[in-house]
């Protein structure tokens, strides 16, 4: 095949669910000529996100930038995959002559065939021309000591602001036996991160009931899996069984990411979110009572259509009461094709951005207060790499997920091995990142 002779570069945009798809694409290609230097790539694959207007712009910017490598680099063929072509290929196929190949979210198995066709001089559109193959092999692009495991795709929640169901389709769980095989194929990982649009609904479509606790137990039994981290747990499906598993299973990191999105009851109802202010506070309190030291992270949307000052203040009050370890905030993005697009009471960008800024300021004080409690104490840190600019190492405590939370920067008098856990004395914090020095020996 022609592509076997070509140098391939990949740009994965958006979430870590996209990253897993990218890693499977690389395995399908089976090439040993993968480069991280995009300018040297003869074939560039851009795996895109289309969740928000900003994500679509980022993908298009990447297309235009990469197209420039036809003259100043070595680019011969440009491939656009993922959510953007899945949703909008009817619009962008003719508008993006820069792209040689378009593939959607379920078409990756046709990538080798598509590249061959492109080298015959054709522009290729295989979006929706599905050729599914059972594929658990991956070319891991994270540091080798941690990896993501996408346990499901799609979403059935039908939040009124969200395009995901119209792009990714209905919720589809992977079979337990396939996930175990995939996890074993990742090799020794200190941290396995379970990922999906909604991990707590795992198994409902296949087995007739939520099976996340069962999956966690079976993954925990694998000898190559060190710890397990849970992302994107929807509040209405956090069951007693899941809480018990998190509390009692020593392999489960005491961390959970719960995307709450708001806290005012009326706004939540307009969002078609299941839950209320009181129910969210009750859940947070229960998690803290039953899981010692649990770190809870969330995300919230500011400026949803019709959000009044009083409703926004209700969200601010929730943050002060809930005292989450960390949170992210986003201005509502009006996405055509969603029910919320048609709602009255659309707010200006100025108002939305001002509210986001205030939410960050409120959370910053909470996070700083929690961070100060670690000053002068030793915490366990998983070493992720070297900060060459700062001449120090960096890693993460249990309350830090990769890329979305802070880091622990630390010095050491002896060698530090990536993927090992060290005791680090915390000497300084800015509320987000921590700074300290390590003991000489790593912990078991």
| Closest by CA position to 39, among listed 58, 3, 65 | 65
Query: How far apart are the C-alpha atoms of 230 and 259, rounded to whole Å?
Result: 12
pLDDT of residue 30: 83
| Residue in this structure with the two tokens 């040297």, named with its chain if needed | 40
Query: How far apart are the C-alpha atoms of 112 and 119, rounded to whole Å?
Result: 11
Residue 375 φ/ψ region, left for φ over 0, alpha for ψ in the -120 to 50 degree band, beta for the rest: beta
Query: How far apart are the C-alpha atoms of 142 and 429, rounded to whole Å?
Result: 26
CB 101 within 8 A of CB 119: no
| Closest by CA position to 255, among listed 434, 422, 401 | 401
DSSP β-ladder status, 421-429 and 378-387: antiparallel
CB 78 within 8 A of CB 66: yes
| Residues counted in the chain | 444
Per-residue pLDDT of the chain (444 residues; tens, 9 = 90+): 777 889 999 999 988 889 999 999 988 888 778 888 999 999 999 999 998 899 999 999 999 999 999 988 899 999 999 999 999 999 999 999 999 999 999 888 899 999 999 999 999 999 987 655 556 688 888 988 999 999 999 999 999 999 999 999 999 999 999 999 999 999 999 999 999 999 999 999 999 999 999 999 999 999 999 999 999 999 999 999 999 999 999 999 999 999 999 999 999 999 999 999 999 999 999 999 999 999 999 999 999 999 999 999 999 999 999 999 999 999 999 999 999 999 999 999 999 999 999 999 999 999 999 999 999 999 999 999 999 998 999 999 999 999 999 999 999 998 899 999 999 999 999 999 999 999 765 555
| Closest by CA position to 231, among listed 2, 20, 1 | 20
What is the number of other CB atoms lying within 10 angstroms of the CB of residue 166? Answer: 15
Check for a shared fold between 146-372 and 378-443: no
Who contacts 91 (Cβ-Cβ below 8 Å, separation ≥6)? Answer: none
Sheet containing strand 101-102, edge to edge, reads 8-12, 43-48, 77-82, 101-102, 124-125
The answer to whether the Cα torsion of 215, 443, 142, 327 is positive or negative is positive
| Residue in this structure with the two tokens 């960008």, named with its chain if needed | 349
The domain over range 146-372 is classified in CATH as 3.80.30.20: yes
Q: Residue 36, SS3? A: coil
pLDDT of residue 441: 55
Q: Is the pTM of this model over 0.85?
A: yes
pLDDT of residue 134: 54
Query: How far apart are the C-alpha atoms of 174 and 135, rounded to whole Å?
Result: 11
End-to-end CA distance of the chain: 47
Q: Give domain 2-125's CATH superfamily.
A: Methylthiotransferase, N-terminal domain (3.40.50.12160)
DSSP 115-159: HHHHTTT--EE-TT-------------S-TTEEEEE-EES-----
- What would the two tokens of residue 242 be? 């899941």
CB 53 within 8 A of CB 333: yes
Quote the distance between the C-alpha of residue 375 and its chain's center.
Answer: 29
Task: To the nearest 10°, report the CA torsion of 241, 247, 252, 255.
Answer: 100
Query: How far apart are the C-alpha atoms of 429 and 431, rounded to whole Å?
Result: 5
Burial 65-86 (b: 16+ CB within 10 A, else e): ebbebeeebbbbbbbbbbbbbb
Q: Where are the domains of the chain?
A: 2-125, 146-372, 378-443
What is the number of other CB atoms lying within 10 angstroms of the CB of residue 220? Answer: 17
Determine what percent of the chain falls in helix, strand and coil, rounding each to the nearest 5: 40, 25, 40
Query: How far apart are the C-alpha atoms of 100 and 81, rounded to whole Å?
Result: 11
Residue 303 φ/ψ region, left for φ over 0, alpha for ψ in the -120 to 50 degree band, beta for the rest: left
| Closest by CA position to 142, among listed 191, 203, 106 | 191
Query: How far apart are the C-alpha atoms of 152 and 203, rounded to whole Å?
Result: 9
| Closest by CA position to 259, among listed 228, 238, 244 | 238
Class of domain 378-443: mainly beta
């Amino acid at each position: 095949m022609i592509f076997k002779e070509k140098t391939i570069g990949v740009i994965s945009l958006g979430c870590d669910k996209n990253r897993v798809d990218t890693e499977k694409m690389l395995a399908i290609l089976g090439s040993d000529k993968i480069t991280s230097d995009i300018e040297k790539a003869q074939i560039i694959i851009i795996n895109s996100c289309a969740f928000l207007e900003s994500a679509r712009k980022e993908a298009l910017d990447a297309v235009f930038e990469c197209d420039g490598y036809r003259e100043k680099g070595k680019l011969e063929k440009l491939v656009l995959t993922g959510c953007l072509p899945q949703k909008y290929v009817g619009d962008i196929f003719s508008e993006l002559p820069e792209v040689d190949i378009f593939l959607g979210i379920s078409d990756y198995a046709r990538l080798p065939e598509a590249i061959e066709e492109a080298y015959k001089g054709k522009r290729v559109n295989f979006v929706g021309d599905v050729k599914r193959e059972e594929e658990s092999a991956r070319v891991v692009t994270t540091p080798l000591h941690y990896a993501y495991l996408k346990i499901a795709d799609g979403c059935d929640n039908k939040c009124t602001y969200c395009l995901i169901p119209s792009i990714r389709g209905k919720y589809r769980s992977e079979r337990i036996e396939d996930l175990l095989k995939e996890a074993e194929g990742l090799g020794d990982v200190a941290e396995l991160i379970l990922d999906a649009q909604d991990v707590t609904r795992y198994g409902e479509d296949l087995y007739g009931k939520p099976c996340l606790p069962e999956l966690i137990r079976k993954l925990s039994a694998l000898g190559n899996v060190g710890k397990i981290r849970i992302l994107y747990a929807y509040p209405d499906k956090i069951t007693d069984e899941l809480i018990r598993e998190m509390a009692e299973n020593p392999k489960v990191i005491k961390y959970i990411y719960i995307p709450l999105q708001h806290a005012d009851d009326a706004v939540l109802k307009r969002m078609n979110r299941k839950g209320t202010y009181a129910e969210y506070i009750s859940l947070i309190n229960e998690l803290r009572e039953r899981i010692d030291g649990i770190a809870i992270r969330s995300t919230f949307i500011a400026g949803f259509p019709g959000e009044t000052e009083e409703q926004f203040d209700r969200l601010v009050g929730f943050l002060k009461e809930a005292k989450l370890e960390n949170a992210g905030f986003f201005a509502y993005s009006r996405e055509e094709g969603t029910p919320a697009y048609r709602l009255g009471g659309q707010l200006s960008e100025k108002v939305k951005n001002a509210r986001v800024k205030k939410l960050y300021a409120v959370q910053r004080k909470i996070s700083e207060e929690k961070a100060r409690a670690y000053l002068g104490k030793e915490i366990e840190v998983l070493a992720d790499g070297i900060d060459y600019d700062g001449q120090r190492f960096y890693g993460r405590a249990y309350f830090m997920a990769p890329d979305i939370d802070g880091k622990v920067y630390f010095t050491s008098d002896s060698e530090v091995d990536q993927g090992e856990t060290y005791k680090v004395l915390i000497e300084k914090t800015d509320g987000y990142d921590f700074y300290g020095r390590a003991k000489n020996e790593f912990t078991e």
